[in-house]
Chain A
């Protein structure tokens, strides 16, 4: 797969929810966008702008009420799905310890137990989780550790596309930086394609190859970020882009 191959294409997609108390809610309105291979696509927008809805649609967990979503590389329904999703809550199964959570996708792909455990260890290290976390249960970890374990589980699928829904919210600044660096490493070292949802514009600018701005207004705004990595949030060029993005977000 060459870089810039389109993995997922949203074509004029809308998603409307019928709710008992708020009537018809347009979570997503006429969105067209391409998610490309080998890139980090950052999705930014305020709370309630439809970011999670967009991700769920992309992952096939939900269907659009108008428009269509196309997977040029994969066809309509491939199994197992070539993508992995980390939800906002950090989806881990509470009755499995962390190691057994991380090895689950490998079990489902018939990876031998020993090999699976070895890879789980590597993934834990990659996510900077101490080794003794492996035997803990999700409820015994902090929110940030849980989030990282969820990312490790997603990576265990060896996904062609990694979808992250605010993976770093509720994590302290230093850890957040480090996790961001890890996501960037995935992209730089392995060419991992990533769809990254965040409400933090600076984070999207720091990591994204392109940034998609989502607001309550119909449609989206797409901005290519061609700043070279590693990006310095204190550099003049960075600050200029940040101000520009902020302006675009508020003026929509």
Chain B
């Protein structure tokens, strides 16, 4: 039974982890029990009584919305920029040093600078100006965090898109030109579809980075809310069941995100199976 055996093998380490957790919870007053964590997870809309944060569900919503905005912007900017860099030597020379520089620094490090640039502005402050506080959720989507997410996730998108464009075989472009295609047709029928699988890889990597960066960014004062804030606050008051629950949600959404983008990647690159 190779299949059952593989499932068993895969379950070994998570099982060990669970046992360690149960033992630790039984021996230490700080470590929350499995039951306590499940209690938080099964009542996601309850406002944590001892924590100065919103509910688990609301925190999740805020984190997801922040990532959606930041990552969405990264896609909108990164894909065209990547295509341009793939096509033009000049564009490559222009952006390469900037990319190398910003990529070497953790996106979180930019957060103070982003807060200086964007202040406390948010979608709510754009909509309502001084009355921004009335839109609790929107006001928490501070542009400073969104910018940091964009900054963190745009590089793999740009680099993979550019790489994909450069890898498209010259013969495909020749083919479209011979069939009577002009410059725009080349882009549309040869360059872009050929670069799509690689760009999808970039999206997957970018999404993974976004989701990792957001939690760290949410621990920062000034942008503090969402799942990251819940972990930080839980730590400060010693109510660790909330931290554990938040970690569980983060892991689940992260896995979902990765699985979704993997699926997209596979869909877009089915034709490459033979070439590899």
Contacts and interface: CB of A to CB of B under 8 A. Distances in A.
Interface of A: 59, 61, 79-81, 83-85, 87, 89, 91, 93-96, 104-105, 108-109, 137-139, 153, 157
25 contacts: A61-B178, A80-B180, A80-B181, A81-B178, A83-B178, A84-B178, A85-B178, A87-B175, A89-B171, A91-B172, A91-B174, A93-B176, A93-B190, A94-B275, A95-B193, A96-B193, A104-B179, A108-B179, A108-B181, A108-B185, A109-B180, A139-B271, A139-B273, A157-B179, A157-B180
Contacts of B271: 94-95, 137-139
Q: Which 4 A-B pairs have the closest CB atoms?
A: A80-B180, A139-B274, A105-B179, A91-B175
Given A137-B270, A137-B271, A139-B273, A95 B178 contact: no
Size bracket, chain B contacts: 20 to 34
A93 B180 contact: no
A85 B194 CA distance: 21
A174 to B, nearest CB: 26
B274 A95 contact: no
B175 A93 contact: yes
Interface in B179-197: 179-182, 185, 189-190, 193-194, 196
B3 interface: no
The listed residue with most A CB atoms (<10 A of its CB), out of B171, B175, B196, is B175
A93 B178 contact: no
B27 interface: no
B272 interface: yes
Contacts, number: 56
Contacts of A157: 179-180
Contact of A94 (B180, B189, B272): B272
Interface of B: 171-172, 174-176, 178-182, 185, 189-190, 193-194, 196, 270-275
A139 B275 contact: yes
A89 B181 CA distance: 20
Contacts of A138: 271
Nearest to B190: A93
Contacts of B194: 95
A109 B196 CA distance: 25
Given A95-B271, A108-B185, A109-B180, 7 more contacts: A83-B178, A87-B171, A93-B190, A94-B274, A104-B179, A153-B179, A157-B180
Contacts of B196: 95
B179 A80 contact: yes
Contacts of A83: 178
Contacts of A109: 180
A91 B275 contact: no
B196 to A, nearest CB: 7
A93 B189 contact: yes
Contacts of A91: 171-172, 174-175
Contacts of A89: 171
Nearest to B196: A95
B78 to A, nearest CB: 21
A93 B181 contact: no
A89 B196 CA distance: 23
Nearest to A81: B178
A38 B141 CA distance: 70
Contacts of A59: 178
A104 B190 CA distance: 11
A59 B171 CA distance: 13
Contacts of B274: 94, 139
Nearest to A153: B179
A96 B275 CA distance: 14
Contacts of A80: 179-181
A66 B189 CA distance: 34
A85 B179 CA distance: 9
Contact of B180 (A81, A87, A96, A137): A81
B183 to A, nearest CB: 11
B274 to A, nearest CB: 4
B275 A104 contact: no
Q: Which of B179, B190, B270 has the most CB of A within 10 A?
A: B179
A85 B176 CA distance: 11
A239 B61 CA distance: 82
Contacts of A153: 179
A82 to B, nearest CB: 10
Contacts of A85: 178
